[in-house]
Amino acid sequence: MNLMTIPPWKYHVFLSFRGEDTRKGFTDHLYAALKQKGIITFQDDKLQRGEVISHQLLQAIDESLISLVILSETYASSSWCLDELQRILESKRSLDREVIPIFYEIDPSDVCHQRGTFACAFQKHSLRFAENKEKVQRWRDALEEVSNISGYDTTDQHEAKLIEEIIAQVWAKVQPNLPYCFDDELVGIESRVKDVSALLKIGLCDVGFIGIWGMTGIGKTTLARIIYKRIFHQFDVSCFLTNVKENSKAKGLVPLQRKLLSKFKIKDMDIDDAYEGKDMIRKLLCSKKVLVVLDDVSEISQLENLSMKKAWLCLGSRVIVTTKDMHVLIGHGEFEIYKATFLNNDESLQLLCKRAFKKDEPLEGYLKLCESVIHHAQSLPLTLEVLGSYHCGRSELEWKEALEKIKRFPPSNILMRLKISYDALSDMEKKIFLDLACFFKGMNKEQVTQIFEMCGFCPVLGIRELVEKCMITEYYYDHGVCLVCIISFKKWEGLLFWRNPQRMLAKEV
């Protein structure tokens, strides 16, 4: 079960209105639009009215994040509405609730100074409550206070467009207050969020660029998304662009540019090509404090066409990029780089058990089997999740056979994800990687380099590029540097030998 902080509220919005004026028109349309957006709204016309405002209604006001007060011609003639308004403003002061007034076909100054129909209403209230002048005065003060809060005036406005604007503002205010749901499947995420957050330095008046670098399946996108959800409300404009590499390859950069531009909520904006889009983004980014996440970037040109340069962004802005290729970040020149880390042994065991046993620890008798799976998966979250789900509900004997099976025949949903990284390599990089995976794993880097040079390869640059693309890693020890493929040979066996059958013969010999 997911854990979440129980919110100190029950409703997103409380609607205060005079039914006779707006129930079958503006209020009804507004309520329908709120409901369609998924905004939980309390309408007081569902309660039975009496002389005194009910405890249930007072509680509903206090339990609402935002109160929309629709001030119409006869609003002030209702003592019930005025009591509501008074409580709404008290809740604003004591509970820091939001209040948005909507002046429906009335002049805000008439509300403030109680003129026109408001003057007539208070003449009647003064007679009716002659012995309780303080009550009447509190109502007057409440109307004056609400009239000075920034809101909406329906005069000369298209109702549909106005409601659309109100919904947008309400959603912008509601969304940051929604409870954060912590996915308990995300093992080890909090420490990594903390590390990246330290690099982001939210609150400083500068522009920050953070690159999250790591291999496929290590959790870069998940990490970026969680951070985005936690901080986006602190920015004027926020945008998360997923699968930049895949989307730009399929449809070009213009759709990505349009999505980013759409966050500025400018109507009728059209761009014909990437150059025009880049120019438009550059002009708009400098005017707002923005948070932009670009997921799975593969080329510097993608960053450039989305106008990601510190000099072009407003102070306080932050950009987060995830990539499998460190050289994209190095070539851009403005990123602090966070290296996404593998799970440690305890985290790996916990994640595997959550998938396989639906609990944090293994069943009795399964510990050694779990350790074998973890060793095979090399603590890669993607692999642990897939293998954990694959072993779920199986006996110990089935676990043993399954482990032997996946060593020889990797699950296709793992292989296809990792194959993407391999296919993106150049021909020279593929040759170097295949030889490292098949024959030179763990060997001294200097010796391997000499062998590759004799074969006519360019190993110094080739090995560096494979490291930057998270295909191999370097381990330092007393006698030099050894090279190890991050993706183990057995997981790639089917793919590698399918591409080059002669290697299978070499292995068998």
Identity at 127, one-letter amino acid code: L
Other beta carbons within 10 Å of 27: 23
98, 175, 417, 473 from 414: Cα distances, Å: 48, 35, 5, 20
The residue behind tokens 């369609």 is 36
12: closest CA among 102, 101, 97, 86?
A: 97
What gap in Å lies between CA 137 and CA 88, rounded to an integer?
16
Phi, psi for residue 355 in degrees, rounded to 5: -80, -40
The residue behind tokens 């591409």 is 499
**Catalytic residue of the set 51, 63, 73, 84:** 84
Contacts 24+ apart (CB under 8 A), 60-63: 60/10, 60/11, 60/14, 61/14, 61/87, 61/88, 61/91, 62/87, 62/91, 62/95, 62/97, 63/9, 63/10, 63/11
Helix extents (H) in 367-500: 367-377, 381-391, 396-408, 412-423, 427-435, 445-454, 459-468, 489-499
Residues facing residue 240 across a β-bridge: 293
What gap in Å lies between CA 93 and CA 95, rounded to an integer?
6
What gap in Å lies between CA 354 and CA 186, rounded to an integer?
10
- In this structure, the dihedral spanned by the alpha carbons of residues 482, 485, 491 and 494, taken in order and rounded to 10 degrees, is -100
Other beta carbons within 10 Å of 33: 17
What gap in Å lies between CA 197 and CA 211, rounded to an integer?
12
Residues facing residue 323 across a β-bridge: 213
Identity at 493, one-letter amino acid code: E
Dihedral angle sign, alpha carbons of residues 307, 243, 330, 430: negative
- Residue 144's contacts (CB-CB under 8 Å, 6 or more residues apart) are 111, 112, 113
Tokens of 181: 């749901």
Tokens of 342: 């593998």
Residues facing residue 3 across a β-bridge: 182
Instruction: Answer for the pair 468, 327: CB distance below 8 angstroms, yes or no.
Output: yes
What gap in Å lies between CA 297 and CA 328, rounded to an integer?
8
For the chain, report the end-to-end CA distance as a whole number of angstroms: 52
Q: Could you confirm whether 84 is annotated as catalytic?
A: yes
Angle of helix 133-147 versus helix 117-128 axis, rounded to 10:
160
By annotation, the residues acting in catalysis are 84
